[in-house]
């Protein structure tokens, strides 16, 4: 493996040993066709199951209004062990009161029952639950139960089945999002795979417990399910996930709205046969870098497939006085309606960027601020503003960068050493058109 600590492999959540998956259509939106997914309906229920008890870690929305499945997961993840994840799209089971909590628990119970045999009992508490879709509508539990039974019957370790699961969690996503990597732990080969969904209501600010951290991001429904056959204890696994989420999902924004349902779950079943990783070992570093890579790639896929998104911008903020200043300044720019519409037009409008920085809570001085642009991966930064003054870089030269589908925005405040970066998107007519909904079709309205 030399310097390359991991490599990409085919598949996603079933790439690691000992994981099976399935994705089925059970008509969660109650379109009433009653036809299965093989009849062309979009799958809407996913099941991911570990053959053996797995260590589990999670990160959840810090929105005070959080959905019933998030409450269920936050409680179960604390126990550190799980066997399965059941996920539905089409209904967020959010703002559904006590019925919602009962329904989330029932999903876990149905799944546990479907997976249990007389020889092998699985408890409801070993099943994690996630939902995404319309807010404020009760889940059609008869359909959900049918879907769980069907999915349990179809479980396989194949890439196709993992793909079906990835499709089943999609809402307004235009494509499924999957990844898998392989890495060496001592003399063992281990793998990590994941699926996720995003599209709208995207600015996650997740913490392990759903409690607001000191440095919190403000505002998706994004769901991500990761599996690995590496062996880690739950505490070490949670630390690794915290680190990765902070650098990936908590650094993306599509529209600045933080969802009620954001959830990331990571199951580690130890089937690779390595000795449990300890947090300062070289093997742990390999695992962390693989997890970092997988989560970052999945997070970027969410932004690139955001509702109406036509441009991907990495906002790189340097020289802030404090880390929270750096975060606030980068997010003010990444969430400004005027900045985002200028990106839509391919316009290097540094005036709007400077304006957004100025109203952020970050300390700055206009006469010390630099603003520049580069193509991704290029060291060649063209500065439109240096020390608060426009440079003589021609407007057309800046436009050649900002007209690209992907570019980096470099901001230096020269106030200190703190840095932050945000993966952001433009704001387009297509976003507005998609989200304004159709009042004549209540099913078009929602989360």
- The catalytic site residues sit at 221
Q: Which stretch binds a second copy (CB under 8 A): 6-14, 36-44, 78-86, 434-442?
A: 434-442
CA distances in angstroms from 388 to 63, 242, 317, 358, 365, listed in the order given? 37, 37, 15, 12, 8
Q: Quick check: 180 and 9 in contact, CB under 8 A?
A: yes
Among 23, 205, 210, 234, binds a second copy (CB under 8 A): 205
Among 38, 187, 392, 438, binds a second copy (CB under 8 A): 438
Residue 75 engages a second copy in binding (rule: CB under 8 A): no
Residue 349 engages a second copy in binding (rule: CB under 8 A): yes
The whole-angstrom separation of Cα 177 and Cα 46 is 14
Residue 357 engages a second copy in binding (rule: CB under 8 A): yes
Q: How far is the CB of 427 from a second copy (least distance, A)?
A: 6
Q: Quick check: 430 and 308 in contact, CB under 8 A?
A: yes
Give, to the nearest 10 degrees, the angle between helix 350-359 and helix 323-335.
130
CA distances in angstroms from 21 to 56, 164, 206, 236, 388, listed in the order given? 17, 8, 25, 25, 54
The whole-angstrom separation of Cα 253 and Cα 299 is 10
What residues from 5 to 64 belong to the interface with a second copy (CB under 8 A)?
A: 62-64
Nearest residue (CB) to a second copy, 11 versus 205: 205
Residue 252 engages a second copy in binding (rule: CB under 8 A): no
Residue 431 engages a second copy in binding (rule: CB under 8 A): yes
Residue 342 engages a second copy in binding (rule: CB under 8 A): yes
State both tokens at 293.
């890579």
Q: Quick check: 333 and 411 in contact, CB under 8 A?
A: yes
Q: Which stretch binds a second copy (CB under 8 A): 110-118, 184-192, 225-233, 358-366?
A: 358-366
The whole-angstrom separation of Cα 399 and Cα 118 is 66
Residue 210 engages a second copy in binding (rule: CB under 8 A): no
Among 33, 285, 389, 405, binds a second copy (CB under 8 A): 389
Residue 306 engages a second copy in binding (rule: CB under 8 A): no
Q: For residue 433, how many C-alpha atoms fall within 13 Å in the half-sphere facing its CB?
A: 5
What residues from 87 to 116 belong to the interface with a second copy (CB under 8 A)?
A: 92, 94-95, 97
Among 186, 273, 323, 345, binds a second copy (CB under 8 A): 345
Q: Which stretch binds a second copy (CB under 8 A): 2-10, 144-152, 161-169, 342-350?
A: 342-350
What residues from 118 to 177 belong to the interface with a second copy (CB under 8 A)?
A: 134-136
Residue 347 engages a second copy in binding (rule: CB under 8 A): yes
Q: Quick check: 267 and 85 in contact, CB under 8 A?
A: yes
């Amino acid at each position: 493996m030399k310097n390359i600590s991991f490599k990409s492999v085919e598949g996603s959540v079933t790439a690691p040993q000992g994981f099976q998956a399935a994705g089925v259509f059970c008509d969660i939106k109650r379109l009433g066709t009653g036809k299965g997914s093989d009849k062309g309906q979009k799958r809407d229920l996913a099941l991911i199951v570990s053959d053996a008890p797995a260590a589990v870690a999670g990160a959840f929305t810090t929105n005070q209004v959080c959905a019933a499945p998030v409450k269920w997961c936050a409680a179960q993840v604390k126990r550190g062990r799980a066997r399965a994840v059941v996920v539905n799209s089409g209904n967020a089971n959010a703002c559904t009161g006590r019925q919602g909590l009962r329904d989330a628990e029932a999903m876990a119970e149905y799944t546990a029952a479907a997976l249990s045999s007389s020889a092998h009992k699985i408890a409801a508490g070993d099943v994690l639950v996630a939902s995404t879709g319309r807010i404020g509508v009760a889940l059609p539990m008869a359909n959900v139960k049918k879907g769980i039974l069907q999915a349990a019957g179809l479980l396989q370790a194949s890439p196709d089945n993992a793909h079906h699961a990835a499709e089943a969690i999609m809402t307004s996503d235009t494509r499924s999002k999957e990844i898998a990597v392989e890495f060496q732990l001592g003399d063992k080969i281990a793998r990590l795979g994941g699926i996720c969904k995003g599209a709208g209501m995207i600015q996650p600010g997740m913490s392990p417990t759903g409690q607001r951290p000191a440095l919190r991001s403000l505002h998706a429904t994004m769901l991500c399910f990761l599996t690995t056959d590496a062996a880690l204890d739950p505490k070490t696994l949670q630390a690794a996930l915290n680190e990765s989420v902070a650098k990936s999902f908590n650094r993306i924004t599509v529209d600045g709205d933080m969802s009620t349902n954001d959830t990331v779950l990571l199951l580690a079943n130890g089937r690779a046969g390595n000795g449990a990783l300890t947090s300062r070992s070289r093997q742990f570093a390999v695992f962390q870098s693989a997890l970092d890579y997988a989560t970052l790639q999945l997070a970027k896929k969410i932004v690139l497939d955001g509702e109406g998104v036509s441009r991907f911008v990495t906002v790189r903020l340097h020289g802030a006085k404090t880390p929270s200043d750096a975060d606030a300044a980068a997010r003010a720019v990444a969430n400004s309606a005027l900045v985002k519409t200028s990106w839509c037009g391919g316009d290097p409008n540094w005036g709007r960027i400077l304006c957004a920085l100025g109203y952020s809570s970050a300390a700055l001085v206009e006469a010390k601020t630099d603003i520049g642009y580069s193509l991704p991966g290029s060291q060649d930064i063209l500065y439109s503003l240096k020390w608060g003054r426009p440079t003589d870089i021609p407007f057309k030269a800046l436009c050649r960068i900002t007209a690209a589908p992907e570019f980096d925005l470099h901001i230096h405040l020269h106030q200190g050493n703190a840095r932050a970066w945000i993966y952001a998107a433009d704001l387009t007519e297509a976003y507005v058109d998609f989200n304004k909904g159709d009042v004549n079709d209540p099913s078009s309205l929602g989360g």
